[in-house]
């Protein structure tokens, strides 16, 4: 149970003098020390966070009218999000000791509202993975049961909130990397619509999929962080210019929400029995509340993962070509020709999964196979996106499991990449279609492992989605 699960009570406790920003940061630093064995953080900004907290305490006393919206909020950032003057390694050896030259727009915006960043969290290398076992700095362990994976790729971010080392965390979600670990760790995780938050300052993986996401215990914190981070940005042409609603002020219950679910997902042979039961219970609850609930058919379910892995590996192979040992990052100093330097640097410093994806992506983009794989997968993406958006113009929400199974054992799927990829079956649709999704905890398995379901709405309907999740009690 988190000591603080919402910002309002943190701020109240500080105002009433029960605690201070400095004491709060000290509490979180203590929590970080206590959970070091989980390998959550790659770096803790201890001194800096304490100094910022002290400055904030002074501001509370001297000029409270100048406090930003996020004062009192302590946040962790995933190690793919740039923070000027701080290291960012994307969980990779290739960026070992690399320092950010500028801050991500998302980071700048939360700092401008007085959030305190406590450290950078471990993740799968270049955000490629579903279990956080692909980090060059060792796996992250699930705080509920350290034999189990926390999910990935934002595993450190999820556990940082799960284990009460900060109030909220920023991650990234290209194919489920926020919603999946949130579900496996028993907290809330949100991926906004593609383009809602600027990608400027994110280490790119699949640029037409990547999006900053948020982990928290409560809807209010997600809404507040989203409203602070979202909006147009001159540094990212894909960031939407659409007006940003005051999400935290519009969390009103919906009168007659309608919810669709895919029969093929609920009946999927790969779905764990306990998750199926919890999903059925949730649907029954909706029906009892008088909401319109309908099972619909979706014929593309089994095509989502293959198309996703063709497209994201293609984009990754291009994005990762900049790590060549020349301009920044790791360089093999023994190489005696230019070509050897490229080859050796990349061979030595990229992990196995990243190399697999670079090769796969290069293959699907190669002259002889481009049409057979890349063009075809683009067409499949278009079909999936259109069908999803059409469905969501008839229904307010789409309910899905977040994961086919609860957290698995460390090492259980590492020998079988395809099995690992298939674990993303329910999360990648939102990224393929660019729609927002929120994973929320619905219960636990007999073994005590958290289960999360997922609600999605149509593009840029975050306000409605957040309202409904709050209505469900979060």
> Phi/psi of residue 372, each to 5°?
-65, -35
Least distance to ligand GLN, CB of residue 172, Å: 6
CA distance 110 to 168: 12
Residue whose CB is less far from ligand GLN, 134 or 282: 134
Q: Tell me which residues touch ligand GLN (CB under 6 A).
A: 127-130, 153, 172-177, 205, 312, 424
Q: Which of 92, 100, 130, 153 is catalytic?
A: 153
Out of 20, 22, 52, 78, the active site residue is 78
Tell me the closest approach of the beta carbon of residue 295 to ligand GLN, in angstroms: 27
The catalytic position among 160, 177, 317, 457 is 177
Pairing of strands 116-121, 74-78: parallel
Catalytic residue flag (residue 177): yes
Nearer to ligand GLN, 119 or 181 (CB): 181
Q: Please, which residue, 126 or 330, has the CB nearer to ligand GLN?
A: 126
Q: How far is the CB of 200 from ligand GLN (least distance, A)?
A: 18
Indicate the residue among 127 and 136 with the shorter CB distance to ligand GLN.
127
Would you mind telling me the total number of residues written for the chain in this entry?
474
Pick between residue 100 and residue 174 the one whose CB is nearest to ligand GLN.
174
> Least distance in Å: CB of 289 to ligand GLN?
32
CB of 154 to ligand GLN, least distance (A): 7
Burial class from Cβ neighbours inside 10 Å (0-12, 13-18, 19+) for residue 349 reads buried
C-beta nearest to ligand GLN: residue: 177
Identify whether 379 is a catalytic site residue.
Answer: no
Is 135 noted as a catalytic residue in this protein? no
Q: Cα separations (Å) of 205 from 312, 322, 367?
A: 7, 12, 22
Catalytic residue IDs: 78, 153, 177
């Amino acid at each position: 149970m988190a000591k603080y699960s919402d910002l309002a009570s943190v701020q109240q406790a500080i105002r009433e003098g029960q605690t201070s920003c400095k004491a709060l940061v000290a509490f979180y630093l203590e929590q970080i020390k206590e959970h070091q064995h989980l390998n959550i953080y790659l770096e803790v900004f201890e001194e800096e966070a304490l100094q910022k907290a002290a400055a904030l305490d002074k501001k509370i006393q001297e000029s409270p009218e100048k406090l930003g919206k996020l004062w009192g909020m302590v946040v962790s950032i995933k190690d793919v999000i740039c923070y000027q003057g701080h290291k960012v390694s994307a969980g990779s050896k290739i960026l070992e000791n690399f320092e950010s030259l500028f801050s991500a727009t998302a980071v700048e915006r939360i700092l401008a509202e007085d959030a305190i960043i406590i450290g950078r969290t471990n993740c799968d290398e270049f955000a490629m993975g579903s279990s956080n076992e692909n980090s060059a700095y060792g796996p992250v362990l699930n705080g509920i049961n350290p034999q189990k994976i926390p999910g990935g790729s934002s595993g450190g971010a999820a556990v940082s909130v799960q284990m009460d080392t900060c109030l909220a965390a920023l991650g990234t979600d290209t194919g489920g990397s926020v919603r999946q670990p949130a579900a496996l760790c028993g907290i809330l995780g949100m991926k906004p619509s593609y383009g809602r938050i600027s990608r400027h300052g994110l280490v790119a993986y699949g640029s037409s999929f990547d999006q900053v996401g948020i982990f928290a215990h409560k809807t209010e914190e997600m809404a507040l962080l989203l409203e602070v981070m979202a909006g147009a940005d001159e540094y990212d042409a894909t960031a939407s210019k659409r007006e940003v609603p005051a999400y935290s002020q519009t969390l009103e219950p919906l009168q007659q929400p309608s919810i669709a679910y895919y029969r093929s997902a609920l009946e999927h042979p790969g779905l764990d029995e306990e998750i199926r039961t919890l999903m059925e219970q949730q649907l029954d609850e909706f029906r009892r509340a008088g909401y319109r609930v309908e099972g619909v058919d979706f014929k593309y379910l089994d095509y989502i993962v293959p198309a996703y892995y063709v497209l994201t590996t293609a984009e990754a192979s291009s994005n990762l070509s900049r790590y060549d040992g020349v301009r920044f990052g790791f360089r093999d100093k023994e190489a005696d020709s230019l070509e050897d330097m490229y080859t050796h640097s990349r061979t030595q410093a990229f992990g196995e999964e990243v190399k697999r994806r670079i090769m796969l992506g290069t293959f699907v983009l190669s002259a002889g196979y481009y049409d057979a794989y890349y063009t075809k997968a683009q067409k499949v993406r278009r079909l999936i996106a259109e069908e999803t958006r059409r469905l969501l113009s008839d229904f307010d929400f789409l309910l899905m499991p977040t994961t086919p199974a609860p957290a698995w054992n460390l090492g259980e799927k590492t020998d079988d990449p395809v099995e690992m990829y298939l674990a993303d079956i329910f999360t990648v649709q939102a990224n393929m279609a660019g729609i927002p999704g929120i994973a929320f905890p619905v219960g636990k398995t007999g073994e005590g492992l958290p289960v999360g379901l997922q609600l999605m709405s149509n593009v840029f309907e975050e306000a409605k989605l957040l309202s409904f999740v709050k209505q469900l009690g979060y």
